[in-house]
Amino acid sequence: MSKVVFPKGYSSLLGAKETEHAIVMVKNFFQSQLSTALNLTRVTAPLFVESGKGLNDDLNGIERAVTFPVKDMNDAKMEIVHSLAKWKRVKVSELNLAPGFGIYTDMNAIRADEELDNIHSLYVDQWDWCECIDPKNRTVAYLKETVKKIYACLKHLEFYIYDRYEAIKPVLPEEITFVYADDLQREYPDKTPKERENIIAKKYGAVFLIGIGGKLPDGTIHDGRAPDYDDWISVNEEGHTGLNGDLLVWNPVLESSYELSSMGIRVSPESLKKQLEERGCPERAEFEFHRRLLRGELSYTMGGGIGQSRLCMFFLRKAHIGEIQVSMWPAEMKADCAKHGIHLL
């Protein structure tokens, strides 16, 4: 399969039963670290939301949500969530949380249009988190401070795993490096966004790439972002566009850049208007979620998602996300993986 990378001589460092135990260890340890570091309370989350409310994550605006009618609600249509990017903001607002406190939850989604490869699956599981912030903290400095806290959790997890499995050697640098997407485009104008990510991830080991979704100097964007959660259009205090970003590490198994998290400061009423116009979808302002935000009824927040299977895959040195989670794969992919020592669950 051309979309799957088969590392030469790959062999899992952990057996099947040991892997299952390690997955539980990774998830339990990391969520405890994260909730403590960011003052997050765990909440229960929906698997589906009602269509037409503007509450589901539209991703790049072209991915189809899995839908179904509900018999006892006059066949009202529900959508399996893509993520909980907007739902979390509503929840934080309803809980009336003070700035500096937030929520996290286990998000389970189905993304039927996902292109399947080593790190992409139909089934998405992540920790979705959201923090209430003071409007004065809608700054890149506050974003960086939060990223450093999350990275410290990753470093603690790395030692926790190494302390139990000596074959899994630590690889993360002591500190994370911050890079702007527009600076990266200027430095490597002849490279694709993915090639640029590979260059900086290999160079630094761990990078937070700031400014995902806004226009770069050449008029392109580094990667797609929906217009109604991350603020990617505001000019920050460092003179760059964007208050969001991706946390990337260098994956030694796949020998490529590897995204563990996407996060950012969420849109204000003003930046929401601008971003809806920029993406050519001002009609979304009529959805219930957007109307509430524009009326100032929702708290100012920042938040993001951290892939659970992605995290386990990286820290347990697996070559395919199917070694961590149970999903569906093309028959040819399963056969090719088996030939290369990759045993899908």
Cα 253 to Cα 8: distance, rounded to the nearest angstrom: 9
Say which DSSP state 57 is in.
-
Please give the sequence-ordered ranges of beta strands (E in DSSP) within 14-162, or none if there are none.
40-42, 48-50, 67-70, 76-80, 102-110, 123-132
Provide the CA 115 distance to its chain's centre, in angstroms. Answer: 16
3-state secondary structure (DSSP) of residue 264: strand
* Cα–Cα nearest to 313, from 344, 270, 278, 281: 344
Give CA–CA dist 213/224, Å, rounded. 5
What is the token pair recorded at 271?
């930046």
Q: Classify residue 112 by its DSSP letter.
A: T
Residues carrying an active site annotation: 57, 111, 126, 246, 259, 262
d(CA 310, CA 246): 14
Paired strand residues for 210: 180, 245
Pairing of β 76-80 and β 48-50: antiparallel
- Give the contacts of 278 (CB within 8 A, at least 6 positions apart): 227, 233
